[in-house]
Chains A and B, each alone.
Chain A
Amino acid sequence: MSEKSPLMNRRLFVGGGIVLAVATLYMGAVGRGALKACGEVRGNAELPPDVQPLIQIGKAHLKDLARKGEPAMLNDVFLDARVLNSDDIVGAVQRRLLALDRESQDEFERGETVIVDGWVLAKSEARFCAALALRAERYNPLIA
């Protein structure tokens, strides 16, 4: 059984992604005009439309947490949300997703997963999505 190719691809992809991310951060800081030309960026305080799927996952996870009454996990979500409470939301999302990539595989290794609408996700993935959902709704009681 070949075990290497997807992981290798993933590593290469992540490596390439870092370059892309740095480039994008640069564009975010310097070349904002070019992004705006694509008609996708509406300002630092707004979440980009491409995170809508993640927000959808996050909403479902929040609903589960509320239904199950898991305050500790909700607290984790709020902490994540505070991280995301940045003016440079695009950069913050990118940085968090980069970290999540390795983190989520480690969590799968340890069996630290949650089920969101049937999807088996790493806990940190679900928590991050929930934070985005909170951010999207501008609902973040921990932030003054």
Chain B
Amino acid sequence: MDHSEGGRSTLEFDLCIIGAGPAGITIAREFANANVRVCLLDAGGLTIEREVKDLSRAEDVGRLPGSEDRHRVRAFGGSSNHWGGHCAPLEPDDFEKLDWIHHSGWPHGFDELRPFHVRAHDVLGLGEFDYDPESVGAKLGYKTFPFDPTKIKSTVSRYNRVRFAPTYGDELNNAPNIKVILHADVSDIQLEEAASDKVAHVLVKTIAGNEFHVAAKCFVVSSGAMENARILLMSNQQRPAGLGNHSDLVGRFYQEHLWHSSGCIVPRTERPDLKFYFNEWPLGDIGVRAHIAMPANMVRELRIPKYRSEISAVSVAFRTAEAIQLGVTMSDVVALISDPVGLGTVLACRSESIPTAYLLMNHVEQIPNPDSRVTLSNQKDAFGRPQPRLNWQLSRLDHEGVVRSQRAIAQEVGRSGFGRVRIELGEDDDTFLQRAFGVGHQMGTTRMDNDPALGVTDGNAKVHHTDNLYVAGSSLFPRCGWPNPTLTIVATSIRLADHLKTQFRADGLL
């Protein structure tokens, strides 16, 4: 691997990829040993360095200031250096255009992405493409919740913490057609001329003080949702609004997965066979865990965002102690539902008890919000470039959706005779809006839509009104559903690589 290149020369390639996280590395690997000269640039080095980190610092004026910046990793391998390995594919209804969610809908459907999800599975070493909770649970001997699947469904996630740098670094280094350049920070994307739609080269700066150009036939920006928006916006010498920003959409719809506890389920009887939900369990070389979620029919009926609830088993005694200030405690409800007809017999020294309750931690899709956005700050970094300015905002719709879904869970838990639910979110309070935090899944800032008025990128991830500039990563996602994004990031990156291969074939390169 080369380090900082000196001088102000121009390096010539066929494909220039800006950002070496899961998206960038996946695309580069798709071209390994092919007849296409690939340059993979990353602003960081092999480890996280303070000086490099300072170059990506954001001015954070939105909710929970500072909370989002800490998730960004500027080093070879990107966010795969600190992720939890949680994978699940998006669901068919995540791609739909919904009348109650403005700016929903992907430019292609679930079926289009499905084969790429399968290929991404191999990249992430996730084993068999099996997301059926009954089937996976059966392999472990665990059951699923006894709910009506049209009311509450179970889902399964697979876990494998692939670190892209150590896993794929040698492969890239050994590929004769791929050049990886570290500490190479792209500061500008320059068109052939102002009136042209064709990108000619990018300007790269290094912390050693060098500058050089990389010219290529195609360019892919794959630096994360915040940095992708920043790079397009600060490439404004020829187009004052920035590249792809003809409709003032670059940086808008900044989304996160929202993480917040919503309450607990108290079961009527102890259910040790439900362990599948309480932990990540080993299955071969990977981990698996079940969650609960709302099925598509309920999502439509209740008009709610997608989410999954992760369940932790805790002792009732602990929750009762914790809930002393709450009035009605878990033990009170246990007494109501666990053994009411035994009330008389309890006078003869009842000893039955339910030692566990199930806490609900929700991983919620943020509803796309145009006011939640990344712009350019007046504050500058060490290179004199504008810092990204993040104004992350939630809307009342996010809160209402979560409350409605918790009520639906409570209804089904009671109806099925399983137990009772305590909802720790009030209809009118702002607890969720104030406290829900992001989990580092930064998405949505270069949304895809085939209509240039509604998207930064088209259905092939090409930036509108450019000929050869593409975006990769979760910044493309118009909606994110409940699944963690990495599997879909890798899937959409493979799809983009396939599209680029078609382009290169047409040019006689492949």
Contact = CB atoms under 8 A, between A and B. Distances in A.
Contacts of A40: 346-349
Contacts of B420: 119-121
A48 B336 contact: no
Of B263, B340, B350, B417, chain A has the most CB atoms within 10 Å of the CB of: B340
Contacts of B411: 108, 111, 113, 120
B146 A3 contact: yes
Interface in B84-127: none
B65 interface: no
Interface string A23-58: 111011000001100101100000010110110110
A51 B263 CA distance: 24
Contacts of B414: 104-105, 108, 113, 120-122
Interface residues of A, number: 57
Interface majority SS (helix, strand, loop, mixed), chain B: mixed
B106 to A, nearest CB: 29
Contacts of B343: 48, 50-51, 90, 93-94, 97
B241 interface: no
Interface stretch (A6-14, A67-75, A76-84, A134-142): A6-14
B423 interface: yes
Of A28, A41, A121, chain B has the most CB atoms within 10 Å of the CB of: A121
B450 interface: no
A27 B332 CA distance: 26
Contact of A56 (B134, B143, B271, B329): B329
B346 A50 contact: yes
A38 B344 CA distance: 12
A60 B328 contact: yes
Nearest to A93: B343
Contact of A117 (B268, B328, B416): B328
A40 B347 CA distance: 6
Interface stretch (B147-155, B454-462, B493-501): B147-155
A56 B327 contact: yes
A97 B332 CA distance: 15
B350 A1 contact: no
B340 A97 contact: yes
A125 B410 CA distance: 15
B176 interface: no
A22 to B, nearest CB: 10
Contacts of A111: 411
Of B143, B149, B154, B414, chain A has the most CB atoms within 10 Å of the CB of: B414
A7 B416 contact: yes
Interface string B318-352: 00000000111101111110011111111111100
B423 A120 contact: yes
A96 B6 CA distance: 85
B347 A17 contact: no
A6 B147 contact: no
Contacts of B349: 38, 40
A1 B331 contact: no
Contacts of A20: 341-342, 344-345
Contacts of A35: 347-348
Contacts of B268: 6, 10
A36 to B, nearest CB: 9
Contacts of B347: 24, 35, 38, 40-41, 48, 50, 90
A14 B340 CA distance: 9
B146 A6 contact: yes
A41 B387 CA distance: 73
Interface in B405-443: 407, 410-411, 414-418, 420-424
A3 B416 CA distance: 8
Contacts of A122: 414
Interface of B: 134, 143-149, 154, 263, 268-269, 271, 326-329, 331-336, 339-350, 407, 410-411, 414-418, 420-424
15 contacts: A6-B146, A25-B344, A48-B343, A53-B334, A53-B336, A56-B332, A57-B336, A60-B327, A97-B340, A108-B411, A115-B423, A118-B328, A118-B424, A119-B423, A121-B333
* 7 pairs of A and B residues whose beta carbons are closest in the complex: A24-B344, A17-B341, A120-B410, A108-B414, A53-B335, A53-B332, A97-B340
Interface of A: 1-7, 9-10, 13-14, 17-18, 20-21, 23-25, 27-28, 34-35, 38, 40-41, 48, 50-51, 53-54, 56-57, 60, 90-91, 93-94, 97-98, 100-101, 104-105, 108-109, 111, 113, 115-122, 125, 129
